[in-house]
Structure 1
């Protein structure tokens, strides 16, 4: 961990999860109190109504992500603090901005953001879609272990999936236009597309989509992350 990260951790006040039960943790066991503090502080900053149990479940997810990473090739990030910030907290930053209803996450990978959303919003049904069989097997396994009954992992390409959803998300598409093209057939009437992006859409992207879509760009502030983050929400324009 970098010196700046250590300084940031040391400067935080102790959080309610400092004495978190270490049972079930493997990869995070030695750093668990510090990671729990970082998560609790971030949840507070984002004003998310997450219980201690939900925060512990998020940390268990991270533990299993890093534990099974070598076998399932889930992430290039192996440092627990960096993975917590760039995966878990990054996904937490969109929670308050998501419309309600059933959700499809395209190209979910290890379940980001689908599993994070499911943990935070147990009342929402989340479908995690990816063509990578190994990653879907991982989501099935951890959903069972974490007791996530509102996650449906599906191994398929988006073109072969035919259900409709109120919300369609993704953080896997480099191109906003490609995401809209792939996602719009799966969108229910009055639904919303929600793309997780680093930079804001380009003028060319906005112009290409402007005729048919109402576009809302939400600038996100991700605790402990200096990189730019945005959530792009798109809804069909009324005919």
Structure 2
């Protein structure tokens, strides 16, 4: 798929999501996608190889949670190659964002992406989630573990009035009894990602 077709696919998806992004954001998102594709050949950062699928499964999938992101600081736990953290940093700049992953190759890519895209206030750390310190208004986690494990490892990072956005494929009903004491499910949203037939759900959690 040529660059203009990718741009059209992305723009249509952004419109379908009802989002208004800053000027130039779509171009920067595609710069990120191209960088990911280039590094993927050597570092195997994602199983998604097709550029058009990357637009749908990575960019639009990440953008679908943008209306629920809040606060001045965000930690993206188990970010992998920056999903959704880097996408959110491009789409809604001005927030302090910490990208956390334990994989050194992925963190090297993240730092190159931050540098290439000139993302201010965004930094990447190679660490296990439970060893990270800080307090964040918003935490994102894209299906990297069960709710019990996510909150068990990273719950200490959530600010008192913060929101935890857990991105899931299935509704994750069977995980709800495992939510640790001190946390509660606030809301659940079925997400409709343009061009994606698979289920996507967002669970919004907070301190009880």
Q: Residue 154 in 1 paired to residue 137 in 2?
A: no
Structure having greater relative contact order (Cα 8 Å, sep ≥ 6): 2
Query: Residues 57 and 146 of structure 1 are in contact (CA less than 8 Å); yes or no, is this contact kept in structure 2?
Result: yes
Query: Residues 129 and 155 of structure 1 are in contact (CA less than 8 Å); yes or no, is this contact kept in structure 2?
Result: yes
- CA shift for structure 1 position 190: 1.1
Q: Aligned partners of 1:89, 1:72: CA distance in 2, in Å? A: 23
Structure 1 unaligned segments of length 5 or more: list them.
1-29
Provide the residue aligned with 2:30 in structure 1.
59
Q: Name which of 54, 72, 76 aligns with 2:43.
A: 72
Q: Name which of 193, 202, 205 aligns with 1:231.
A: 202
Provide the residue aligned with 1:86 in structure 2.
57
Q: Aligned partners of 1:210, 1:134: CA distance in 2, in Å? A: 32
Provide the residue aligned with 1:206 in structure 2.
176
Q: Aligned partners of 1:201, 1:101: CA distance in 2, in Å? A: 28
Q: TM-score, normalised by structure 2?
A: 0.94
Query: Residues 183 and 193 of structure 1 are in contact (CA less than 8 Å); yes or no, is this contact kept in structure 2?
Result: no
Residue 68 of structure 1 aligns to a residue in which SS? helix
Structure 2 unaligned segments of length 5 or more: list them.
none
- CA shift for structure 1 position 52: 4.4
Q: Residue 182 in 1 paired to residue 131 in 2?
A: no
Q: Which has the larger radius of gyration?
A: 1
Structure 1 runs (4+) deviating above 6 angstroms are none
- CA shift for structure 1 position 210: 8.0
How many residues end up aligned between the 2 structures?
207
What is the alpha-carbon root mean square deviation over aligned residues? Answer: 1.5
Q: Aligned partners of 1:173, 1:46: CA distance in 2, in Å? A: 24
Provide the residue aligned with 1:13 in structure 2.
none
Provide the residue aligned with 1:109 in structure 2.
80
Query: Residues 130 and 154 of structure 2 are in contact (CA less than 8 Å); yes or no, is this contact kept in structure 1?
Result: no
Using the TM superposition, name which of 34-43 and 167-176 deviates more: 167-176
Q: Name which of 113, 125, 139 aligns with 2:96.
A: 125
